C-alpha cells in the first residue's frame, strides 16, 4: 500500500471528517480518540500523524488512513479515497491541500436547465422517503425548537444521508423513474454517474422548502457544524444553513433561492421572515401564515408571491425579520425591500417589533410559551416564598389555609403547605402579628431604575442591543449617559439572603415581555443600564451578553422619563 505521504490529506483530516472525539494528545507522535469502529468511548484509538496509521487498543483494528474512513463507513478503500477527496474538496494527489469553506464550483462546468416544478417536487418527495431523521436531530427539534413529534413529522424534517450513499441515492431515484437532471443538488460525478451532493462536512437537518402551491421547490440543510470562512474572527458564528444545490458542478443547477410558504394561501395577513425553519416553528406556535426567504436579501421571489397573494385575498404583510434589523445593515436592507415589494403589489405592510432579547420571531414565541410554564410554576410556590418575594400581602395566608383544608391530599401538614418552620407555624397560630414581623425581617425592598438608549441613541450607536465588547469597540469605556433615557423607576421585594446577582436577574425577568405598570421602554435587553439605589448609594450595571457588568454611569446626563420621542 502507498505511504500516506502520497495522499493530498493526512490522518488528522480524516479524523476531522469522521468528527472523531479527540480525547488527548501524546505529543506530536500520537493522538487518542474514540474509536468509530467498535464505538469505544475512552479514547483507545491511537492516530499516528507521522506515519498516517492508526490502531484501536480496544478492538484491535488497525491500518492506513483509507481503511479508517472505509471501516467507519463500511466501504472499500478506493471508494473511501473518492469520498475523502470529494469531502475535502481536494483533487488529484500531488495538488496542494487547501481546505476551503465553500469551494463548490468546478470552473466552466457545464450547467443544465432547471427541471419543471412538478419534476422537482416528485424527485425531492421520493428522495425524502429514502432519508430518516436521526435521534439527535429529533431531540434538537423537540428540545431546542419546541416542536412536537407530530409537528416534526408534518413538516417532514430529515437528516442528510451519509456521504457514501450519494451515488446510491441518485441511482435509486433513476430506478424509480424520477428525473435527476435539472434537480437542484444533483450532478454528474467524474465517473459519469449521477449523485446527490451531500457531504459529511455539511451534514445536518434537511428542511423542506414548499411553494405557496404546496409543491416542494427545494431543500435546505441546517448544518450540524457551522462553516467558518478562513480568516473569520473566532466570535463569528459561521454559516448555519446551506441550500441543497449543485451550482458549478458538472450538469448541476442552482437552488434558485425559492420562497418558502407555510399556512393558508388565502390568509388575510401573511408574515414574512428569513429562514424556513424559523417560519415553520412560528407557524406551529401561532397557526399564522408565514413566507420565508432563504437569506435575508433573497427577496426576488417575493414580488411574484405578493402579486399572487393579493389576487388571493391577502391584505396585509407583516415584516418579521430578525430583531437585528436595528443594528445589522444587511437585515435592515432586506426588511426595507419587503416593505417596498408589499406596497408595489397593493398590500399594506407593517413591521413587527418584539422583545429584542430574542433575535428571531421563533425564539420570541418560544420564550412566551416557556414563560407561561414559568407562571404555572409560580402557582406552585408556597405562601412563605410568595410573601418573601413580595408577590402577596400577609393576609393571603388565610386564603392559603382555606386551600389547605380543601386539599384532597391530607398527608401534608399546614406548616409544610405554607412553607413555615415549626416555630413560625406556632407564631402563626398564637400571634400572627409577630410572624409578620419575623417574615418582614427576612425580606427587603430594593429600589431600582432602568435606563435605555433613546431612539436616536439606537440609531447612532453600534453597541445598541449588544454587549460591552461592542461598547468598547465603539470607543466608549463607560456607557454614554447622554444617549440614554430613564424608562422605569420602581422597586422589588426579595428574600434578604439574595445576592446582588439574584436581584439583577429578577429585575431582568420582571422587565421582560409582561412589563410592569408605568414602564415606558422595551423589554430589558443588552445595552440597557440598571441602577440599584438606596439613599445615597447608587450602583449601575450594564445589561451584558452574559449577565450584568458594573459600570460608571452619569445618570444626571440621561433624559428624564416621560418624554416619549415618537413611536413609528
- CB nearer to Zn ion: give 56 or 415: 56
Residue 342 interacting with Zn ion (CB under 5 A): no
Cβ 2 to Zn ion shortest distance, Å: 24
Tell me which of 14, 15, 17, 56 binds Zn ion, using CB under 5 A.
Answer: 56
- Nearer of residues 69 and 157 to Zn ion, judged by Cβ: 69
Min CB(71)–Zn ion separation in Å: 9
Residue 54 CB, nearest distance to Zn ion (Å)?
10
**Smallest gap, in angstroms, from Cβ of residue 60 to Zn ion?**
7
Nearer CB in complex with Zn ion: 35/526: 35
Alpha helices in 226-348 (DSSP H): 276-286, 300-312, 329-344
Least spacing, CB of residue 225 vs Zn ion, in Å: 24
Q: Which helix (H) or strand (E) holds 64?
A: strand 62-64
Instruction: Give the residue with the Cβ less far from Zn ion, 38 or 126.
Output: 38
Cα–Cα distance, 179 to 254 (Å, whole number): 16
Q: Which of residues 526-555 bind Zn ion (CB under 5 A)?
A: none
Least distance from C-beta 45 to Zn ion, angstroms? 6
Pick between residue 15 and residue 242 the one whose CB is nearest to Zn ion: 15
Does 33 engage in binding with Zn ion (CB under 5 A)? no
Would you say the C-alpha torsion 69, 70, 71, 77 has a positive or negative sign?
negative
58 binds Zn ion (CB under 5 A): yes
Cβ closest to Zn ion, residue 66 vs residue 543:
66
CB environment 429-462: b (16+ within 10 A), e (fewer): eeeeeebbeebeeebbebebbbbbbbbebbeebe
For Zn ion, the closer CB: 43 or 218? 43
Residue 59 or 555 having the CB closest to Zn ion: 59
Per CB under 5 A, 59 contacts Zn ion:
yes
DSSP state letters, 106-156: -TTPPB-PPPPHHHHHHHHHHHHHH----HHHHHIIIIIT---HHHHHHHT
What 8-state DSSP symbol labels residue 198? Answer: -
Q: How far is the CB of 411 from Zn ion (least distance, A)?
A: 54
Residue 510 makes contact with Zn ion by CB under 5 A: no
Chain residues 382-411 in contact with Zn ion, contact rule CB under 5 A: none
Torsion of CA 179, 184, 189, 192, to 10 degrees: 30
Beta bridge partners of 529: 451, 542
Binding residues for Zn ion, how many (CB under 5 A)? 7
Residue 89 CB, shortest distance to Zn ion, in Å, is 29
Q: Which is nearer to Zn ion, 12 or 62 (CB)?
A: 62
Chosen residue from 11, 31, 33, 35 binding Zn ion by CB under 5 A: 35
Structural contact between residues 469 and 438, judged by C-beta atoms closer than 8 angstroms: no
Cell numbers placing 239: 454559516
Beta bridge partners, 537, equal 534
Stretch 80-109 residues interacting with Zn ion (CB under 5 A): none
CB of 38 to Zn ion, least distance (A): 3
* Residue closer to Zn ion, measured from CB, 40 or 544: 40
Cβ 44 to Zn ion shortest distance, Å: 6
Options 18, 38, 128, 510; binder of Zn ion; rule CB under 5 A: 38
- Pick the piece of the chain touching Zn ion (CB under 5 A) from 39-47, 95-103, 362-370, 522-530: 39-47
Q: Which long-range CB contacts under 8 A does 286-293 form with residues at least 24 apart?
A: 286/365, 287/263, 288/263, 289/261, 289/262, 289/263, 289/264, 289/265, 290/261, 290/262, 290/263, 290/320, 291/212, 291/259, 291/260, 291/261, 292/259, 292/260, 292/261, 292/262, 293/257, 293/259, 293/260, 293/334
Q: What is the CA radius of gyration of the chain?
A: 30
Summarize as ranges the residues that interact with Zn ion (CB under 5 A): 35, 37-38, 40, 56, 58-59
Amino acid at each position: 500500500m502507498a505511504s500516506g505521504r502520497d495522499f493530498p490529506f493526512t490522518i488528522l483530516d480524516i479524523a476531522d471528517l469522521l468528527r472523531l472525539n479527540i480525547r488527548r494528545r501524546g505529543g506530536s507522535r500520537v493522538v487518542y480518540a474514540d474509536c468509530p469502529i467498535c464505538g469505544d468511548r475512552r479514547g483507545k484509538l491511537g492516530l499516528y500523524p507521522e506515519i498516517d496509521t492508526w490502531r484501536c487498543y480496544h478492538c484491535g483494528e488497525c491500518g492506513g488512513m483509507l481503511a479508517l474512513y472505509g471501516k467507519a463507513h463500511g466501504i472499500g478503500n478506493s471508494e473511501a479515497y473518492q469520498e475523502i477527496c470529494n469531502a475535502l474538496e481536494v483533487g488529484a494527489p500531488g495538488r496542494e491541500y487547501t481546505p476551503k469553506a465553500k469551494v463548490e464550483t468546478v470552473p466552466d462546468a457545464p450547467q443544465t436547465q432547471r427541471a419543471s416544478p412538478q419534476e422537482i417536487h416528485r424527485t425531492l418527495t421520493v428522495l425524502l422517503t429514502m432519508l430518516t431523521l436521526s435521534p439527535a436531530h429529533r431531540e434538537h427539534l423537540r428540545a431546542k425548537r419546541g416542536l412536537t413529534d407530530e409537528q416534526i413529522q408534518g413538516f417532514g424534517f430529515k437528516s442528510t444521508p451519509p456521504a457514501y450513499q450519494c451515488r446510491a441515492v441518485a441511482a435509486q431515484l433513476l430506478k424509480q423513474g424520477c428525473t435527476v437532471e435539472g434537480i437542484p443538488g444533483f450532478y454528474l460525478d467524474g465517473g459519469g454517474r449521477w449523485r446527490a451532493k451531500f457531504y459529511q462536512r455539511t451534514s445536518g437537518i434537511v428542511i423542506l422548502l414548499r411553494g405557496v402551491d404546496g409543491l416542494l421547490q427545494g431543500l435546505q440543510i441546517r448544518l450540524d457544524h457551522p462553516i467558518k470562512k478562513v480568516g473569520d474572527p473566532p466570535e463569528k458564528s459561521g454559516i448555519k444553513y446551506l441550500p441543497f444545490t449543485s451550482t458549478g458542478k458538472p450538469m448541476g443547477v442552482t437552488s434558485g433561492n425559492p420562497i418558502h410558504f407555510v399556512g393558508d394561501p388565502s390568509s388575510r395577513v401573511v408574515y414574512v421572515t428569513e429562514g424556513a425553519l424559523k417560519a415553520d416553528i412560528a407557524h406551529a406556535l401561532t397557526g399564522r401564515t408565514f413566507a420565508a426567504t432563504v437569506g435575508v436579501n433573497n427577496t426576488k421571489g417575493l414580488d411574484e408571491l405578493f402579486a399572487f397573494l393579493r389576487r388571493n385575498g391577502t391584505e396585509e404583510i407583516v415584516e418579521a425579520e430578525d430583531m437585528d434589523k436595528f443594528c445589522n445593515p444587511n437585515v435592515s436592507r432586506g426588511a426595507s425591500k419587503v416593505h417596498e415589494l408589499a406596497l408595489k403589489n397593493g398590500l399594506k405592510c407593517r413591521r413587527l417589533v418584539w422583545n429584542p432579547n430574542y433575535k428571531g420571531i421563533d425564539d420570541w414565541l418560544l420564550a412566551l410559551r416557556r414563560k407561561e410554564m414559568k407562571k404555572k410554576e409560580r402557582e406552585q410556590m408556597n405562601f412563605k416564598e410568595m410573601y418573601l418575594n413580595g408577590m402577596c400581602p400577609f393576609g393571603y395566608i388565610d386564603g392559603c389555609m382555606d386551600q389547605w383544608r380543601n386539599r384532597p391530599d391530607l398527608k401534608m401538614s399546614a406548616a409544610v403547605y405554607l412553607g413555615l418552620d415549626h416555630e413560625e407555624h406556632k407564631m402563626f397560630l398564637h400571634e400572627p402579628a409577630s410572624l409578620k414581623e419575623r417574615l418582614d425581617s427576612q425580606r427587603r425592598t430594593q429600589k431600582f431604575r432602568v435606563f435605555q438608549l433613546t431612539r436616536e441613541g439606537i440609531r447612532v450607536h453600534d453597541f445598541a442591543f449588544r454587549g460591552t465588547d461592542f461598547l468598547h469597540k465603539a470607543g466608549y469605556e463607560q456607557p454614554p449617559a447622554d444617549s440614554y433615557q430613564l424608562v422605569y423607576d420602581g422597586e422589588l421585594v426579595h428574600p434578604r439572603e439574595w445576592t446582588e446577582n439574584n436581584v439583577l436577574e429578577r429585575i431582568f425577568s420582571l422587565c421582560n415581555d409582561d412589563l410592569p405598570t408605568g414602564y415606558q421602554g422595551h423589554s430589558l435587553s443588552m445595552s440597557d443600564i440598571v441602577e440599584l439605589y438606596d439613599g445615597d448609594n447608587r450602583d449601575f450595571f450594564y445589561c451584558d451578553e452574559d449577565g450584568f457588568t458594573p459600570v460608571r454611569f452619569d445618570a444626571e446626563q440621561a433624559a428624564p422619563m416621560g418624554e416619549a420621542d415618537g413611536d413609528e
